[in-house]
Amino acid sequence: MAASTYNRRQLSRLFKSCASISHLTQLHSLLYKSGLLHHPLYLRSLLSLSSLPPWRNLSYSLSLLLSSLSQPKSNSLPYLSLSLPLFRAFSSSIHPSYSLSLFTLLHCKYNSFSGYVNDYYIQNSLISMYSLFSDIDSACKVFEEMTVKTTASWNSLMAAYDKIGDAKSAERLYSQMPERNITSWNSLINRFVKAGDLRGARRVFDEMPERDAISWNSLIAGYAQAKKYKSALELARKLFDGMPIKHITCWNAMIVGLAVHGCSDEALELFATIEKEKKQLPNQTTFLGVLIACRNKGLIQEGKRIFNRMIDEYKIIPSIKHYGCMIDFLSRCGLVKEAYNMAKEMPIKANTVLWKTILSACRVHGQVELADSVFKELQEAGPLGEEEFVTMSNVYAEAERWQDVERLRESMVDCGSLKIAGWSQIDSFG
């Protein structure tokens, strides 16, 4: 099929089927041949896909946008709104200064059109753009010049005030809004949450004519920040149960949240449901939550079984967090030798945190010889601090190996981990 014969629906399907950056560049080539490369609709899709994970390629995105802006017959105004994903991507990248340079360029582009720009979509995008760089004066200027202010316009400026922490101005703007949508209500919830006023946030939440995931997540986050975990979990579970379609990330958030806060049985039940329904495939985060649930419940055999299934059945490679959870679990259960063997045999180099965990377990369970081996691993891993010397000294002391205690004390003095207390003649006279 010739490139020029593709219609909008077919191109939309091609964008949705993109599975890699190479597919995206092929689509780029197709659009170029068809003369549609600089069409705002397709340019927006190219910029969004190339500036966001998992294919983020900011040099490609920037080149694409700048080439579009340089087109002699193009109206530069639509590209102002298209550049927002790229601004955000650069701002969170290792090259945030590029975002500022791009902002300056487009700021100049906009100023060259001032006086006869009257497109509220462009103006809303400009307010968001200025907000991203905390330029509240320019954002206000655009807002005041608008002949048509949509609810999105009010929300954009309100978000700009919230970003710089000017709650008073945001409140004033909110009170002046002729009408509000769900974004307006959500911003008010966030403002109460940031101020630590959970009662106010809950009141707004209850008064909302409709709610979305952001509404629920904002209130859940507020309860979590205030360490009211029970209320946060209850809201989260209510939200989760009401979701018609649950992505694996939703399952993971719920499983980990329940596991971390002591609701191991509920977390394990959710995992069992995932496996029973077979609609979602568990991933690394899922199994980490399940292992935490097993650890907190003391289900060592179940934890081992889950860990092995993750590797053998689901072909998931454990991360340092999975190994850390298992080593901590084995150590708590007195299976210190197993914990040691796992740390030695794991494909990832064990860090000092894992070796300290095992050393502490050696002390609790009286594993003196094993503690010697662990202490050597710690010495090889990096410089020892006072904490490691003290733990090892306590292991020897509890086994009544006083010569080893003295030897270790001398080593501490030699390496500077133990400082001999100073004294003064003045002190000796009281």
The span from the CA of 53 to the CA of 67, in Å, is 22
Contact status, residue 319 vs residue 351, Cβ threshold 8 Å = no
pLDDT score, position 1: 43
pLDDT for residue 53 is more than 50: yes
Identify the residue with better confidence: 46 or 61: 46
Please enumerate in sequence order all residues whose Cβ is within 8 A of that of 428, keeping only pairs 6 or more positions apart, or say none: none
Identify the residue with better confidence: 418 or 229: 229
R_g of the chain, CA atoms, integer Å = 30
pLDDT in tens, 361-373: 999 998 889 988 9
SS3 at position 317:
coil
pLDDT in tens, 156-194: 899 888 888 888 898 888 889 888 899 889 988 988 888
**Helix residue ranges, H only, 4-95:** 8-16, 21-34, 40-51, 58-69, 77-82, 84-91
The span from the CA of 232 to the CA of 223, in Å, is 5
Name the pLDDT band for 89 (thresholds 50, 70, 90).
low
pLDDT for residue 343 is more than 90: yes
Identify the residue with better confidence: 394 or 81: 394
pLDDT for residue 246 is more than 80: yes
Alpha carbon separation from 176 to 146, 155, 162 (Å, rounded): 16, 12, 16
The span from the CA of 326 to the CA of 329, in Å, is 5
pLDDT score, position 429: 33
- Which token pair is 14? 């091609």
Percentage of the chain modeled with pLDDT above 90: 24
Name the pLDDT band for 15 (thresholds 50, 70, 90).
confident
The span from the CA of 352 to the CA of 339, in Å, is 14
Q: Strands, E, within 317-388: which ranges?
A: none
Name the pLDDT band for 267 (thresholds 50, 70, 90).
very high
Show me where the domains of the chain are located: 336-419
Contact status, residue 231 vs residue 266, Cβ threshold 8 Å = no
Of 42-56, 231-245, 264-278, 310-324, where does mean pLDDT reach its minimum?
A: 42-56
pLDDT in tens, 279-318: 889 999 999 999 999 999 999 999 999 999 999 999 999 9
Identify the residue with better confidence: 276 or 132: 276
- Which token pair is 169? 């101005």
SS3 at position 376:
helix
Which residue has tokens 């899922």? 286
pLDDT score, position 310: 96
SS3 at position 116:
coil
Q: Which residues of 157-187 are buried (b: 16+ CB within 10 A; e: fewer)?
A: bbbbbbeeeeeebbeebbeeeeebebbbbbb
Q: In the predicted model, what is the mean pLDDT of residues 3-14?
A: 66
Best-predicted range by mean pLDDT among 72-81, 90-99, 110-119, 379-388?
379-388
The span from the CA of 105 to the CA of 112, in Å, is 11
Of 32-36, 208-212, 251-255, 289-293, where does mean pLDDT reach its minimum?
A: 32-36
203: DSSP letter: H
pLDDT in tens, 371-392: 889 988 988 877 777 788 888 8
Of 16-25, 323-332, 383-392, where does mean pLDDT reach its minimum?
A: 16-25
pLDDT score, position 35: 77
Identify the residue with better confidence: 42 or 279: 279
Percentage of the chain modeled with pLDDT above 70: 76
Burial of 9 (0-12, 13-18, 19+ CB in 10 A): exposed
Name the pLDDT band for 345 (thresholds 50, 70, 90).
very high
pLDDT for residue 84 is more than 70: no
pLDDT for residue 348 is more than 60: yes
Which residue has tokens 């003369």? 35
